[in-house]
Amino acid sequence: MNPDPELLGEGPVRLGDGGGTREVLDAEPSPDWHPSPWLLVATLLVLVVATAGWLVDRHDRAGEARALDACRHELGSAVSLADLRLTAMAAYLRPAVGTLTGARRDRLADDMAMPARRVLGDVERADAACRAVSVRPWHVALASQQRATTAYSSAVVARLRAVAARGRTFYLGDGGLRLLREAAAIPGGGGPF
């Protein structure tokens, strides 16, 4: 025998007869994991709240879209009427404006201001209606559309006020207004607004 107890001798080693030791394959299967009832209730509650929130947000978004479409339609109608009335007056006055000077020309400019004053109220109401639409910031497309619409409506109101106040800010095509109208995607007629 070897004096060092850590070293095995040269002879064969016999393992025990298995009394008391079990192999891994002989072990009993572990019991199935079952979540606690509180975890199930919490998960179900989170799912219900998330679904309800999604449905409410979807309903709100649809309402915002309807309100924005309604104000855009109102604005389009008001601007089309303004275009129609002011274009008719401009066509009527254009031959006379080129031939007159002084007081008669000022009177014709005042004639241009009258139809602008008549349609200004409709455009201002449409502008106020579009500004009153409340859009949640996370509805990015609707918020962007509202900003474009109110930028356009504000520019039209400012232009109409200038024509209505002085009459000399003549009703001519304005590339800036056209660009704002295109950005707002408001269908338009052939007028400068």
Position 175 pLDDT exceeds 90: no
Give the per-residue pLDDT at 25. Answer: 60
Roughly how many angstroms between the first and final C-alpha of the chain, as a whole number? 112
* Complete DSSP assignment for 35-99: --HHHHHHHHHHHHHHHHHHHHHHHHHHHHHHHHHHHHHHHHHHHHHHHHHHHHHHHHHHHHHHH
pTM of the model: 0.67
Spatial distance between the Cα atoms of 122 and 82, rounded to a whole number of angstroms = 9
In the structure encoding, which two tokens stand for residue 90, read together? 């401009």
Spatial distance between the Cα atoms of 46 and 52, rounded to a whole number of angstroms = 10
Position 116 pLDDT exceeds 80: yes
* Whether 159 contacts 193, CB under 8 Å: yes
The winner for highest mean pLDDT among 81-85, 121-125, 133-137 is 121-125
In the structure encoding, which two tokens stand for residue 134, read together? 């409340």
| Nearest in space to 159 (alpha carbons), one of 181, 180, 179, 174 | 174
Q: How confident is the model over 147-172, as a mean pLDDT?
A: 82
Q: Which residues of 116-154 are buried (b: 16+ CB within 10 A; e: fewer)?
A: beebbebbbebbebbeebebeeebeebeebbebbbebbe
Question: What is the Cβ-side half-sphere exposure of residue 146, based on CA atoms within 13 angstroms?
Answer: 23
In the structure encoding, which two tokens stand for residue 103, read together? 């007081």
Q: How confident is the model over 27-38, as a mean pLDDT?
A: 79
Residue 36 confidence class, pLDDT cut points 50, 70, 90: confident
